[in-house]
Structure 1
Amino acid sequence: MRSLLNRLAWITSIGMFLVLIMGTLVTKTGSSAGCGKDWPLCNGKFIPDYTLSSLIEYSHRFVTGIEGFLVLGVFILVILKFKQRDAIIYASSALFFTIVQAVLGALAVQWPQSAPVLALHFGFSLLAFVSTLLLALVLQDAKLIAGNKRAASTPKTITAGFRRLVWFTWVYCYVVVYVGAFVRHTNSSGGCVGWPLCNGELVPEITGAQGIVFVHRLAALALFGLIAMIAYSAKGNKQGERNHFVTQWSFYLVSMQVLSGAFVTFALGTGWYLTAGMIHALIIACLFGALSYLGVLVRSKSN
């Protein structure tokens, strides 16, 4: 049963990642109004007439619906068959955030929403994805479950300071993600032309779209610095092979995220803009997942 549940959890996690990316595609292509103000139907139909915007929007709704049933099924199986505290927490949070992001999506269709509220939609989708990812990892590897005997007998080599740094970076990364989503939903991407300078200035005037993009760049730079500190600390101390591997990949991913942000800037007004934006969203989802995994690894092993 555990093997079957683990496979189902991985399928659910991959599905949630697909929902996340498809949601980004809806936003980037301006397809959120592709089904009008109808929900869950599309322009009053179960199978809508073909237009590109309706196809993108309705495909996102369809996949989200299937994913919702998968999340619910995994949640029920975990509660009934796998009564481990961490697994129950992750299954419950996956179900909660899936419901929240679905409700926000429905509300956005029915009534106009402000950019700050719309940005939360991506943030909750990201939390739903991370919850399914951690659930799959916990089911696959019992050593990840807090309080397990094997972990308790392992020498404590991770300092409390390192653990606090990891979790602070995790929270801060979510803030950076939110600001990035806010940039998209306010259509501010063109506020800064050029990279790394903003409209030819090192520190431009912090107003309007220019200010929003510049604040996001500063926040992303600080995130790069924090993850570099984590990678350096893990390399200089005996943090464990698994932790060192995840910190390395976190640093690779944040480096790629910075470069993909530059790609988005240079692609403005070209046919590459959509591709650049999708790559940017894909990498940040992977980075947030890696930081979440690292947080679980260090949670129960600090001095």
Structure 2
Amino acid sequence: MTSPIKPWIFTATCPSLLGTVDVVTRYMAASGHYVDEIHSFDDREAKRFFIRIEFTPQSDDFSPEKFAEEFASRAEQFQMEWELTEPNHRPRVAIMVSKYDHCLNDLLYRHRTGQLNIEVPVIISNHPDLEPLAKWHDIPYYHLPITAETKPQQEADVIKLLEQYDIDLVVLARYMQVLSPDLCRYLDGKAINIHHSLLPGFKGAKPYHQAWEKGVKMVGATAHYVNNDLDEGPIITQGIQQVDHAHYPEDLVAKGQDIERVTLFNAVRYHVQKRVFLSGSRTVVFSN
């Protein structure tokens, strides 16, 4: 079935109870809403149910207010927390970056070509290097240098910018700074970070060179929500690729950056499309 009307997104979570799928799908059918895509998951450990539906109203006079009024009593029976997202919702995303440009470049390209349905009203960096790239895209660029002594004021300035630009999501596109606990709390659940995933764990300068010296056989990347545990927030996406003895350090860097780009893009895309649910320290991700 096709329709010129673009789909709405319904997301919900509630305790694990009999009839959770039925109460949603029965309402959709009774109200004349065609279900284009549906995902659900019941977490036995957390005793929590999650559901995401893309649906197309079959009449031109669809009213989200009427939907909310009619569905509220049904949701209340299941203690259901739910949200309705309109077609072409475009979250306002701030990108934070240091000197590496591969993730920033990729996000801006996908934004420009429509692969990411977002607005990027501001880019924030602790270095001036990538300002020309921001100017080419006609996006305001703020250089906020940081030292141990100026870190509290710098992070306060970051928060001011996020509030000034009414930001919905922050993407750390290789922002090479450890965020303070206060900033992590402020960004809890609304900031995504990307970092390399190498085993054994290689920290500090030139991790790919360290990995090459140990003869690693795979490289990868992890995108996760920011919290106060360094690089240990709830994971959204991961990528991996095998390598061997013929890959030199520069080859590992190139492959690693490729994986970082795609992994971060998918994490942002899933978040924007309401495909990610937080479940304690874990995530439920309805990928497509």
- Superposition TM-score tier, normalisation by shorter sequence: under 0.3
Give the helix-richer structure, 1 or 2: 1
Give the strand-richer structure, 1 or 2: 2
TM-score relative to the length of structure 1: 0.24
Greater relative contact order (Cα < 8 A, sep 6+): 1
TM-score relative to the length of structure 2: 0.25
